[in-house]
Structure 1
Amino acid sequence: MLRDALFLARLFALPVCLIAALSGCGPQAPVATTVRPAMVVQPLPSAQSMDSYPGEVRARLEPELAFRIPGKVSKRLVEEGERVKLNQPLAELDAQDVRLQQDAIRAQVAAAEANLQTVRSERDRYKTLMDRQMVSKSLYDNAENLYRAGDARLRQLKAELTVADNQTGYAVLRAPQEGVIARRLVEVGQVVAAGQTVFTLAADGEREVSISLPEQNYGRFKIGDPVSVELWTQREQRFPGRIRELSPAADPRSRTFAARIAFAGGKVPAELGQSARVYIQSEHAAPLSVPLSALTAENGATYVWRLQSDSTLKRTPVQVGAYGQESVPVLSGLQASDWVVAAGVHVLHEGEQVRPVDRSNRAVRLAAKE
């Protein structure tokens, strides 16, 4: 039995040996080297070196609309947030009193016209008699004065009638330009005074960001300072802007100073009421920052993978600051023109060649950036 087992083992081992011998005799195919893609970024100014202030997108022109006469609101024709056109009626007052006043003045105008016709006839008659030397000149002068007084009275009443007509028109509040009703401050049945704000209109045109600056930092800001604006719906992009307006007085409750930020150029997709954040350069020197995913550590040392001009990797030690939510400031070890790998750093090796791409999977030309 033992002899049979040894014979079978040798029989099965022979083909395996022949296959191994034949494979060793032929030429070996070269192993293809795969260059892996690597997403790279350049260091950016650290967000921790920028002072940020929350704000709201507002219209540059926000007129407060009010009636020019007092009265009781009888109709409210628009709602908050509604778009309006030029001269569109927004609200109406009960105009019964101004119409009665208008009718009274119109009746006085009619009486003054009849009186003027009478005194004109008297003046003309006395002039004829005076020319015939049948009446004295003093009587004619008296008739002339009555005519002049009647004419002046008629012109006065016509002016008052024009004012009454205007006040009747003032009972309807109209939009001075196209825009959106930002605020509504009255209800039907409410009695308002002349000049009391009824609506706030956000006029079409330029958009700005309204922010509040704290007391302790207000002194270092001035009109025209450059800023950058981040919109809530465009969080991956910052738009250039500048400080257009600074309030000279602090709000009595919040103790902050209101400021308006104008966009520097181009059309910005900013909508009314949209949340925004304004970034202003801090007083201290701005370090660079890289994404958290670009960092790795070994033996207590922190480093990044920096790309050289031939697309090979070099492990570069860096000194970092306090970690943020998405990025970390780099205090030393990098320059703004460097490119570093932003993802998958734990599987890379010193001197490894990669194919650099950006976040949109587009090839990065290192030579053009260095």
Structure 2
Amino acid sequence: MKFKKPFSLLVGCAAIFVALIVVDELEPESVEPVKKQAVLAPVSVLKVTPSQHESTLTVLGLTAARWPIQLKASTSAQLKWLNESIEPGNLVNKGDVLARLDTSAVDANLAQALSALKQAELELKQAKHEQTVALKMLNPSKSSSFARREPQVLAAKANLQQAKQAYVSAKKLLEESVITAPFDAVIMKRHISPREWVEAGQVTFELAASDSIDVELPISEMHWQQVQAALVEPSINVVSRSGNTWPAKVRYVSPEVDSVTRQRQVVLSVEDPYQNKPRLFPNQQVQAIVSLGLQENVVSVPLSAMTRDGYVWTLDINDRLRKESVTLIGQGSQELDIRFNDQSDKARRVVQYPLSSMLIGKQVAPRFNEVHVEAMLAGKSNAAQIKESNQ
């Protein structure tokens, strides 16, 4: 019994020791708390490097006919002859006959006016003859002006003048019965048909000058300074939606600013728009590409990069946002040519799509958008090809 008791104690201690070892092995290791990293907002950026740049400004405009005119019938008559080969779009020269009206009534009026004219001339000669006889028979110092036949002669002269004007008017109506082109023109519309009865004042044809066409460009205040500087020696091309190009020059600059839009209007002139194909017709939307000359420290950014208030967001070396003021140099169909007002010779990372919630100094995660860079380069290449083709 004495031997078993110490042995039992020994076994119990060993069991306790083993249990402690097992518990120690099974105890989980202490895990240090993991610090959560702040999630940075991704921002699409473009890297831009300042360089010399041939800047252009692209402005949308609308073509307008030069000297639009309506040819109206002077008298009511039946259409005697119509040049049926003249259709809208055809070119006519000054003096070309477009139509002829029946002149029966006009001939009768002209004959009547001629008869009245000859009668007035006869009456004037008669009045002068009577005056000569009266002056021989009367004492000039004691006779009245009526007796001397002075008012009768004046009345005869007035009647003759009236008869002359009536004859000139009747002759003018006869001449206008032949409808002719007043200048070199393009036929815009024809409103009459063969053998039609035409009323006085009815529109027969609508024409416009064929030597040039106007292009009306509304220029905003933001672009006016650039355009005004470029108009000293302008190099302007007008491009239609189909891609056809015509050289243009400045016809005039409107002296007034629109009271609603606060825009100025520059009117361009394109020479001989109807002579060659493709033609440039009125009421078409076109682009006017204005060359602004060679500029220093210019970068090209997408249209979306500039905010409504005219600023551009960039990133510093620590990927923090900053808002910078810029000067607009030129504008294309897909990009803006700008110059940074501060350290304009430094390369920058420009935020492509700025948000109204952006804060100055906030750190972001930049994401470079190479696709848009390629698109801008392609657009500039197309513009260069257009310029070379014009040259």
* TM-score, normalised by the number of residues in structure 1: 0.48
Question: TM (normalized to structure 2)?
Answer: 0.46
For the pair shown, the structure with the greater C-alpha radius of gyration is: 2
